[in-house]
Structure 1
Amino acid sequence: MLKSALAMAVIGFVAFAAAWPSLSQGLQRPAVSIEQATKIARDRGLIVIREIELDDGKWEVEGRNQSGEKRELHIDAGTGTVLRDERD
């Protein structure tokens, strides 16, 4: 029984070690922080930010401008370039 438990632990460790490179890629910080993305969105006229999330290398920001219009921005998380700015 001790041998089987040890074997399972070794198999689990090997599986985790094999998956580590792909797991660690998801933990890397984007070059453009959430604070910088927020500033970019505010500079583009959003005064209320409802939601901001990092997805597929871009910040997706939803909010409203001064006239109350719903807007959605996509900001490149590597460069800070606004990729999309449209009505939501």
Structure 2
Amino acid sequence: MLKLRITIAMIGFVAIAAALPARAQAPQAPAVSLEQVTKMARDNGMVLIRQIELDDGKWEVEGRDRTGERRELHFDATSGKLLRNERD
């Protein structure tokens, strides 16, 4: 009899949980804007920007420097800190 009550209670809890609306979280806008990261990339020597992408909390900027070499810069989207400065 106790097992039956526990089973009925569990079914009730599952039914209530299933009826509640799922909470979808809207993506948060990064603290560092697209305009700011563009300026930061230029300040770090990039003269031609080919692509800017926000991925996993960081801005990834691809382009070329003054000498024409390919560069990839990564900036933290919250603080603006330069995380990576690579030549390809």
Asked which structure has the greater CA Rg, the reply is: 2
**TM-score > 0.5 by shorter chain:** yes
Residues in 2 aligned to 1:68 and 1:28: alpha-carbon distance in whole angstroms: 35
Residues in 2 aligned to 1:19 and 1:51: alpha-carbon distance in whole angstroms: 33
Tell me the TM-score normalized by structure 2. Answer: 0.74
Deviation readout 1:3-31 (Å, 9 max, x if unpaired): xxxxxxxxxxx68x31413xx1xx21100
In structure 2, list runs of 5 or more residues that go unmatched.
1-18
- Structure with the higher fraction of residues in helix conformation: 1
Consecutive aligned runs of 4 or more in structure 1 exceeding 6 Å deviation:
none
Tell me the TM-score normalized by structure 1. Answer: 0.74
Deviation readout 1:15-71 (Å, 9 max, x if unpaired): 8x31413xx1xx211000011000000000000000000000000000000100100
The RMSD of aligned alpha carbons is 1.4
In structure 1, list runs of 5 or more residues that go unmatched.
1-13
* 3-state SS of 1:20 partner: coil
